[in-house]
A and B are shown apart, each in its own frame.
Chain A
Amino acid sequence: MSKQEAQVVGTQAPQETPRETTREAPRVNIAMPNNGQTEPAGKKPVKIRTAGVNVFYGDNQALTEVDLDIRENEVTALIGPSGCGKSTYLRCLNRMNDTIEECRVEGTVTLDGEDIYDRAVDVVHLRARIGMVFQKPNPFPKSIYDNVAYGPQIHGLVSSRDALDEVVMTSLTKAGLLNEVRDRLHEPGTGLSGGQQQRLCIARAIAVNPEVILMDEPCSALDPIATARIEELIDELRQNYTIIIVTHSMQQAARVSQRTAFFHLGVLVEFGDTERVFTSPRDERTQGYITGRFG
């Protein structure tokens, strides 16, 4: 995926990109390619690949030429000072930016080799495959059960009441919440504590059985204990899901992620194995940020 192509593409509106001619045939689980910035190829296949992504809010460019590969069943952390574009990048991956009127996305974002900004892609289907957990816990003002059941219901994933019960229970178990809420499944989800609410939101996201989970600073509104609980959960979920997490806490990035991307002023500065990025950063901006000199 060359820069050239991204620029050709970049001159057009994202939905109308006629890249059928130049694009490689969709490949599932392609091997990790070497595109300069990334580390030497890992063992896990690439799940999401972004190439030459530019994002504009009106005349403001929020992201510039971001090339990033997300590997399957890994936790990728996006770090960087406020306003560096990491949340914007995250929201490109499930097209949540579509709803912002003056937002424009250029470049290619592929999920399993399939361009998600292609006109043929239904955004509803895409978001069922890529779930999202938000900064502030935002359960629906409905019962705990209904919160988790909502996704499977709208996507028609279950045919019977029993199957739905099972999905809800499994999701709550996976989110490590079931033991705490078993007796009050039909009480409002908004009555839970902040950390529980966030785990409920995670349960709600995994009830749809997504392939990727995007987390936008999921612990920023939580106390340290709830944070630790969520971090544990993220580590468990890694077995089955590909996770991308935006965080302001470097410790958190170091604790939960396998790979870390450092963004600064809308540019992807450095990307690599978490350990490597934190111990021997190659860019001095990364070094400055992780040692607390700015940001």
Chain B
Amino acid sequence: MTAPNTSTSALITASLRSRHAAEKRFRAYGIIAIATALVFLVVLLSSILAKGYGAFFQTQISLSIVFSQDVIDPKKTGDGQVIARANYQKLVRNALQARFPHVKKRREIKKLSALVSRGARRQLQAMVANDPSLIGATRRVWLTASGDADMFNKGAIARDIPEKTRRINDRQIAWLDALEESGALRKRFNVTFFTTGDSREPEQAGIWGAIVGSALTLVVTLILSFPLGVTAAVYLEELSVKNRWTDFLEVNINNMAAVPSIIYGLLGLAVFLNVMHLPRSAPLVGGIVLALMTFPTIIIATRAALKAVPPSIREAARGLGASPVQVVLHHVLPLAMPGILTGTIIGMSRALGESAPLLMIGMVAFIVDIPQGPFDPATVLPVQIYLWADSPERAFVEKTAAATLVLLAFLVIMNATAVILRRKFEKRW
């Protein structure tokens, strides 16, 4: 009896060694996989952060502006219309010339003016509109620097590249140095970036238009896809009789979830724009298209959540005489809600990051105005990133990265919401 026992034990000992080795190997694979993923994540995030960080700051130039009566309102009409239409660019040019009196040539003056953003005139116009008593006075004003000056000041344009291939020439560099020395150059938090729409001038381009566009689009998507998806899933999972027809539907819903998103864009173009003549570039159409895309995701997530509700709860309710709809509405759906919400938010964050279908329905247009409603032309965050990434100016590189950061921030917020909702509504039984 002892002989077979010792031999069994020896066999087990021998096999244990290889089992332990296999276990260690598997652990090592897991750690390597996670480490690789983390490294890529860190590289990605740090490169975006490094590139985009600068866009949250803006170079400003301090000039002593003479709000000359002759330029703003020579006839002293005091008429708001006249004051609004005045040549504020001239005020900027005059101030610059006063700061650098030895600059005389037309071409030189033009180069000098190019240091200040063309948006500066709107800034001065607003100042005067707010306070007409400024006319005739002289004030030191911090004006937004042009994109090139901004890039140079942030060090994105190096001094040592040859002047011919540089966006900013030696004279301009000398002027900026002089301004810097006299304390007339500063970097401030870039409010413009978060409050304006797109612009051809990088220093005036902002992300707000795209944020509003994304929000409007997602609202339309949510309103359409959530109730439809949940109702469809509840019907399929809880109420319908399982037969060949529902099997066929199930296969097709799963296929729908796998359809490349650009196909939905083509569908939107063909049906909503060409047949139904809905407005082009509008969040309404974008929302409908993304809703079609999100719909199967929500159905699948909802069905999984419904399946996870223990059948004993259904039996208990049914045994008490609850009708099928009461069973679903009173018991099954509330218990499945955390899962449904998580699935919905994940579907929504996918929709938020989607650009291809929106290109098809014209949301890729250059839109300066902030959209006021779902019918206004708009663009969305990922498309804005795409547009900026396509722009040649050096200053748009950091805008692209900054917009990516904003998009990532929204995605993180949405996913965190999903986790919190899940924690909050989860019930144990």
Instruction: Evaluate contact between B241 and A101: CB separation under 8 angstroms.
Output: yes
User: Known contacts A141-B427, A190-B429: does B318 contact A150 (CB below 8 Å)?
Assistant: no
User: Known contacts A140-B313, A141-B428: does B319 contact A124 (CB below 8 Å)?
Assistant: no
Instruction: Evaluate contact between B242 and A131: CB separation under 8 angstroms.
Output: no
Q: Which residues of B contact A86 (CB under 8 A)?
A: none
Instruction: Evaluate contact between A204 and B320: CB separation under 8 angstroms.
Output: yes
Of the residues A136, A190, A208, contact of B320 by C-beta under 8 Å = A208
Q: Which residues of B contact A204 (CB under 8 A)?
A: 316, 320
Instruction: Evaluate contact between B322 and A134: CB separation under 8 angstroms.
Output: no
CA of A201 to CA of B312 in the docked complex: distance in angstroms?
A: 12
- Mark each residue of chain A from 230 to 270: 1 if its CB lies under 8 Å from any CB of chain B, else 0: 00000000000000000000000000000000000000000
Closest chain B residue to A127, Cβ basis = B321
Question: Does A155 reach chain B (CB closer than 8 Å)?
Answer: yes
Instruction: Evaluate contact between A138 and B318: CB separation under 8 angstroms.
Output: no
User: Known contacts A154-B326, A190-B428: does B319 contact A140 (CB below 8 Å)?
Assistant: no
Question: Does A92 reach chain B (CB closer than 8 Å)?
Answer: no
Instruction: Evaluate contact between A96 and B315: CB separation under 8 angstroms.
Output: yes
User: Known contacts A101-B242, A140-B331: does B320 contact A127 (CB below 8 Å)?
Assistant: yes
Q: Interface size on A (CB < 8 Å)?
A: 26
Instruction: Evaluate contact between B315 and A134: CB separation under 8 angstroms.
Output: yes
Q: Interface size on B (CB < 8 Å)?
A: 21
CA of A141 to CA of B332 in the docked complex: distance in angstroms?
A: 11
Question: Does B330 reach chain A (CB closer than 8 Å)?
Answer: yes
Q: Which residues of A contact B315 (CB under 8 A)?
A: 96, 132, 134, 138
CA of A126 to CA of B320 in the docked complex: distance in angstroms?
A: 10
Question: Does A125 reach chain B (CB closer than 8 Å)?
Answer: yes
Q: Which residues of A contact B8 (CB under 8 A)?
A: none
Q: Which residues of A contact B321 (CB under 8 A)?
A: 124-128, 151, 154-155, 208
Instruction: Evaluate contact between B429 and A201: CB separation under 8 angstroms.
Output: no
Of the residues A134, A155, A190, contact of B319 by C-beta under 8 Å = A134
Q: Which residues of B contact A127 (CB under 8 A)?
A: 318-321
A-to-B contact residues, CB < 8 Å = 94, 96, 99, 101, 124-128, 131-132, 134, 136, 138-141, 150-151, 154-155, 190, 201, 204-205, 208
B-to-A contact residues, CB < 8 Å = 241-242, 310, 312-313, 315-323, 326, 330-331, 335, 427-429
4 tightest A-B contacts by CB?
A132-B319, A127-B321, A138-B312, A128-B321
Given contacts A150-B330, A154-B322, 6 further A-B contacts (CB under 8 A): A125-B321, A136-B312, A140-B313, A154-B330, A190-B428, A205-B319
